[in-house]
Structure 1
Amino acid sequence: MTFASITADIISFVQSHSAWAPPLAFALAFGESVVIISLFVWGTVILLAIGALIGAGGIELWPSWLAAAAGASLGNLVSFWFGRHYGERILTMWPFNRYPETMAAGQRFFERWGSWTVFLTRFSGPLHGVGALVAGMFGTPALVFHMANIASAMVWAFLVLAPAAATLRALLPS
């Protein structure tokens, strides 16, 4: 099975079972936001397709948006906790020690942007899961983390789902 065939199967499933769109959006956003899992889960393509299905009228936007935002927030919280718990020892642990360039880039980004790292890295493919981890490693206060995490998750989920929905609705005859 290829990535394309798996994606097509999931999209077909969501078309046939629209009630599964919010739980699927939650799971994909969660997977993309946990630092280790994000290496294997590329849910943005499927989330964009869910956005298109929303535009076609078969799925409501708000439940899928809230589910994707909740999944993304919870995934980043797991990464933040991991960073907070293990600190800089993470740099010597597998699999992080296999990606020293990515970890160094995350550290440089944090040194430049501070707690904004949590918000900004949400929109960066390679640093997506690393931002929350690094914020935890460097002791970002929990309240600051939660504010940036929730705000960025809400914006990210909307930007992933809404444009395809709006475009398709505009193109379809009413």
Structure 2
Amino acid sequence: MLELLDMLIHIDKTLGVWIAEYGTWVYVVLFLIIFGETGLVVLPFLPGDSLLFIAGAFSASGHMHPGVLIVLLIAAAILGNTLNYVIGRSIGVRVYSMNLRFLDRNALARTHAFYEKHGGKTVILARFIPLVRTFAPFVAGVAAMPFARFQMFNIVGAVTWVMSLVLGGYFFGNLPFVREHLNTIVLLGIASAVLPLVVVGVWKGLRRFRRKDVVTL
């Protein structure tokens, strides 16, 4: 049982074994993993970016149909975020005063600060940032973001996230260099998504600092 759980958690590294063992049922497994990682704040440890990339690489090898894979994973990402939003909306601001052992309060606080700073586009950008990806829709629900507006960002984010990583894996995942340095490439991809936000945040902070200096003078 523990071995099966370990394989599930690290399916991005053992996907070939799952395909060999379960055939087309692997679509269901991948759907549930992406749905769980995006839909339940208690499952942020499930693989996301690397799994999409590796799945794309296996589809290029003929083990899975890329079209079916993309459609299913986009649906899983949209539905997962929607469930997470609904849970956050139903709990509301009470979550900050509730003593829930399974909830990573530090990750929740970081995501809330990120959401407050970057607004609705967080739902899109968070797709490419582990942990933030899991908590962003939950925080959007807690903050009572209008459902229609949330779904607009949710759909755009899901399509962008899934297609970019699955197609990236499809076209480049089987190159020896990429396979050997996959973790580094994924980290660089995450950094490229976060870096513009950091630059904008620093720039805004400097502008506020300069305004305070002017007012002081």
How many residues are aligned here? 170
SS across alignment from 1:139: coil
Structure 1 residues 155 and 21 mapped into 2: Cα distance closer, same or farther (>3 Å)? farther
Structure 1 residues 30 and 117 mapped into 2: Cα distance closer, same or farther (>3 Å)? same
Higher Cα Rg: structure 1 or 2?
A: 2
Give the corresponding residue for 1:124. 129
Per-residue deviation at 1:9?
A: 5.0
Which ranges of structure 2 fall in alignment gaps of 5 or more residues?
Answer: 177-217
Give the corresponding residue for 1:42. 47
Please, what is the CA RMSD of the aligned residues?
2.5
Q: Deviations for 1:123-158, whole angstroms, at most 9, x for unmatched residues?
A: 110211110011111111111111111111111111
Q: Scaled by the length of structure 2, what TM-score is found?
A: 0.69
Per-residue deviation at 1:59?
A: 1.8
- Return the structure number with greater relative CO, CA threshold 8 A, min gap 6: 1
Q: Is the 8 A contact 2:41 2:138 kept in 1?
A: no
Cα distance in 1, alignment partners of residues 116 and 173 from structure 2? 41
Give the corresponding residue for 1:87. 92
Which ranges of structure 1 fall in alignment gaps of 5 or more residues?
Answer: none
Pick the structure with more helix per residue. Answer: 2
Q: Which amino acid letter does the alignment assign opposite residue 20 of structure 1?
A: W
Identical pairs, percent = 24
SS across alignment from 1:115: helix
Structure 1 residues 117 and 48 mapped into 2: Cα distance closer, same or farther (>3 Å)? same
Give the corresponding residue for 2:182. none
Per-residue deviation at 1:4?
A: 5.9
Cα distance in 2, alignment partners of residues 72 and 26 from structure 1? 8
Cα distance in 1, alignment partners of residues 109 and 18 from structure 2? 40
